[in-house]
Structure 1
Amino acid sequence: MPVLSEVVALLDAWFPPGTADSWDRVGLVAGDPDQEVRRIHLAVDPSPAVVAEAVDAGADLLLVHHPLLLAGVHGVATTTPKGRSVTALVRAGCALLTAHTNADQAYGGVSHALADALGLRDQQPLRPLPAPALDQLTVSVPAPDAPALRAALAAAGAGRIGDYDQASFSVAGSGRFRPLDGAVPTIGTVGRAEEVAEEQVQVVLARRDRAAVVAAMVAAHPYEEPAYGVVELADPGLAPTGTGRVGDVEPTTLRAFAATVAAALPATAHGVRVGGDPDRVVRRVALCGGAGDFLLDGLRASDADVYVTSDLRHHPASEFLEHDGPALVDVAHWAAEWTWLPVLRRRLTEALGGTVDTHVSTLVTDPWTFRVDAPR
């Protein structure tokens, strides 16, 4: 049975908190890192109704997309909805974990799930993130101590490449040195040259982790003065992660594509709003889960035929369409992001096996509850 800290570490590896926007608040909000996790409840919003649903289901963890405490708060008294939610979770022993903009931009994240739900092929990030700058650490260590050193490097974050960790390369060789006066050698004696069977270990690491990895290496190394080198690697270019997604669909009309969108998303009062010629041919689709009007300017001259997102406002949408660029499809914010939850559930089940029960909330937490059409 995993404990909460292990589940948090798993989510952090999939959706690194460091990739969240600076204004965002992601990660563990409440809960004991040492508590066991038997049941996980997945939802878009930590609304009071969702919190009650999670508590009633006996969940040990409520994993949500939107933060409960995004703006600064000075108390969580039960006189407020947020305070009641926090109190209910704490009393029930149910932890709360948020993956927001870090999940928006990740491979396998929110926009990726929406793109899969709409059948996009050959998809890629709409606005790719720069790949993290990388270093290579090379260190020589006595052969019997190499496994422990590799383990310490991995624990510090070295050897993580894409969906793999603990990656390293070793080659056997001979290390030579002579301790001088003042040395306290682990092997050998002062004044006498030594030759030791060593392994040279190489690992790749994110440059931002350099100080922590080097410190872990020095602490784990048996030598008083370990020999090592750090080399900055060439710029790896763009990462397979980023904001939004863009890909292809079988040629269709805007009207038919909008119907596909409506069928792929859970029903809401908002429905699917469309701006553009219904008979326009759609082959290439750009999208952004959640509120995506911040990408409009960059899409005006794109090769996309349509842009799917949420929360489009009147003036930005009107002015965008005046440029004869992509058509617009505006969907409910909650519905677009809900498509990520079944994907996340499958991923958790694969990673945790049968040890944890996962459940996806189907409560519609979109703020709009009904729509009234004008009589015709």
Structure 2
Amino acid sequence: MSPVLLADVIAALDAAYPPGLAESWDSVGLVCGDPNDAVATVMVAVDATPAVVDEAIDAGVDLLLVHHPLLLRGVDTVGAHTPKGALVHRLIKAGCALFTAHTNADSADPGVSDALAAALGLIVSGPIESQPGQELDKWAVLVPVDDVDRVRSAMFAAGAGYVGNYRDCSWSVTGQGQFLPTGSANPRLGAVEALEKLDECRLEVIAPRGIRQKVLAAVRAAHPFEEVAFDVMEMATFPSPRGLGRVGELPEPLSLRDFTDRVANALPATAWGVRAAGDPDATVRTVAVCGGSGDGLLGVVSRLGVDAYVTADLRHHPADEHLRAGGPALIDVAHWASEWPWCDQAKGVLDSAFAQTPRWQVRLSSVRTDPWSLRASS
């Protein structure tokens, strides 16, 4: 069996957490490593801290997969004299690649918030804030019946014809077309200044809007006519299951007090702890969750009509204003703890792709990278 290459692992991760879902300010993907190197062992962590890098190198893993970018903002050096550059150098010298899946993993389906929802026992119904679905074109090309298979194949080769999990999808109907070549026309069929009638197929195919020019070039190259008759219609875009946060429902209602205890028991303990805002005896049935910092979604969550919102890094004033405006109860957890369940999800992505490979192993980092280390006793 051929070894798994880093390029293969990247392809699996990009399929699960498409880079195109990342926010414009984010930095995701391969930080260091050779895509042609073999990979047999992987470690997954939330952060690439010095302690996590030490653990990865000591374990001899080939790839360290993390959620938070090591190099997020622009840098002009990764020299070993800088803290982050020193980590990059250590990883390269040890032959350990570094890969990041950040906001693309936040918005993926499933993604970071799905892992958090699963840890809390929620039945997920969709994202808090949905991303629009893929932008699609519908192509309708008029082709002589004898040439339709060639044109259809060319459009498929250009990337058209995918509908969900199906490929090579098209629809066609036969009708009668006509044309009259004029002036300097050089018709393949018929003669200048003579009306020509023929049987044609109207061939309809769906294609991503982003490959419009590629599809057009394929149609023109495969079509037998000098002038190609076609329509391109932009299809309506609908909300997708991808997006930030998740909304779900508990199998049975709990008081806010009991649900807060459930959250604390489901996530790794931290000095930050778990705190709630709202009536302790209020009933919680529907819950919104967002792994990581989620107070930017407070307004959206309020409009959803859920009973509680679980996220991290809630600030005093936004939380206070949210509650006074009648928003749902809030449960604030440590940032690291809210994203830790994703590590096991990412392990599952890689194991499902490569578990049959000899010596394949994915392990979770045992290092807690939550920065808070002490909670004062009362």
Whether these two folds match at TM > 0.5 is: yes
Q: 1:210 to 1:326 in 2, by over 3 A?
A: same
Which of 330, 341, 350 is the aligned partner of 1:348?
350
> What is the root-mean-square deviation of aligned Cα atoms in Å?
3.4
Post-superposition CA distance 1:9-65 (Å, at most 9, x none) = 332232222221111111222222222222222111111221222222222222211
Provide the residue aligned with 1:26 in structure 2.
28
2:360 matched to 1:360? no
Task: Work out whether residues 291 and 333 of structure 1, in 8 Å CA contact, stay in contact via their aligned partners in 2.
Answer: yes
Shift of residue 254, structure 1, vs aligned partner: 0.6
SS in 1 for 2:306: coil
Higher mean alpha-carbon deviation, 99-108 vs 201-210, is at 201-210
Write the letter of the residue equivalent to 1:362: S
SS in 1 for 2:64: strand
Write the letter of the residue equivalent to 1:329: I
Provide the residue aligned with 2:301 in structure 1.
299
Shift of residue 213, structure 1, vs aligned partner: 4.2
Superposed counterparts of 1:100-119, under 5 Å = 100-119=102-121
Shift of residue 275, structure 1, vs aligned partner: 1.2
Which of 368, 372, 375 is the aligned partner of 2:376?
372
Q: Between Structure 1 and Structure 2, how many residues are aligned? A: 366
Shift of residue 320, structure 1, vs aligned partner: 1.8
Task: Work out whether residues 175 and 202 of structure 2, in 8 Å CA contact, stay in contact via their aligned partners in 1.
Answer: no
Shift of residue 68, structure 1, vs aligned partner: 0.7
Q: 1:183 to 1:365 in 2, by over 3 A?
A: farther
Shift of residue 122, structure 1, vs aligned partner: 4.4
**Take 1:224 and 1:77, find their aligned partners in 2: how far apart are those partners?**
59
2:246 matched to 1:241? no
Write the letter of the residue equivalent to 2:373: T
SS in 2 for 1:135: strand
Shift of residue 252, structure 1, vs aligned partner: 0.7
Q: TM-score, normalised by structure 1?
A: 0.83
Which of 60, 66, 69 is the aligned partner of 1:67?
69
- Structure 1 portions without partners, runs of 5+: 192-197
Provide the residue aligned with 1:7 in structure 2.
9
Greater Cα radius of gyration, structure 1 or 2: 2
SS in 2 for 1:76: coil
2:325 matched to 1:320? no
**Take 1:247 and 1:60, find their aligned partners in 2: how far apart are those partners?**
37
Write the letter of the residue equivalent to 1:237: F
Q: 1:373 to 1:120 in 2, by over 3 A?
A: same
**Take 2:205 and 2:98, find their aligned partners in 1: how far apart are those partners?**
35
Shift of residue 83, structure 1, vs aligned partner: 0.8
Which of 153, 157, 174 is the aligned partner of 1:152?
157
Superposed counterparts of 1:21-100, under 5 Å = 21-100=23-102
Post-superposition CA distance 1:341-369 (Å, at most 9, x none) = 11221122112342242222231101111
Task: Work out whether residues 120 and 248 of structure 1, in 8 Å CA contact, stay in contact via their aligned partners in 2.
Answer: yes
Write the letter of the residue equivalent to 2:362: T
Write the letter of the residue equivalent to 2:274: V
Write the letter of the residue equivalent to 2:23: D
Q: 1:228 to 1:95 in 2, by over 3 A?
A: farther
Shift of residue 332, structure 1, vs aligned partner: 0.9
Provide the residue aligned with 2:196 in structure 1.
none
Shift of residue 209, structure 1, vs aligned partner: 2.8
Q: 1:222 to 1:204 in 2, by over 3 A?
A: closer
Provide the residue aligned with 1:169 in structure 2.
170
SS in 2 for 1:329: strand
**Take 1:199 and 1:93, find their aligned partners in 2: how far apart are those partners?**
57
Higher mean alpha-carbon deviation, 209-218 vs 100-109, is at 209-218
**Take 2:176 and 2:373, find their aligned partners in 1: how far apart are those partners?**
72
Give me the identity figure in percent. Answer: 48
2:211 matched to 1:206? no
Shift of residue 243, structure 1, vs aligned partner: 1.4
Shift of residue 238, structure 1, vs aligned partner: 0.9
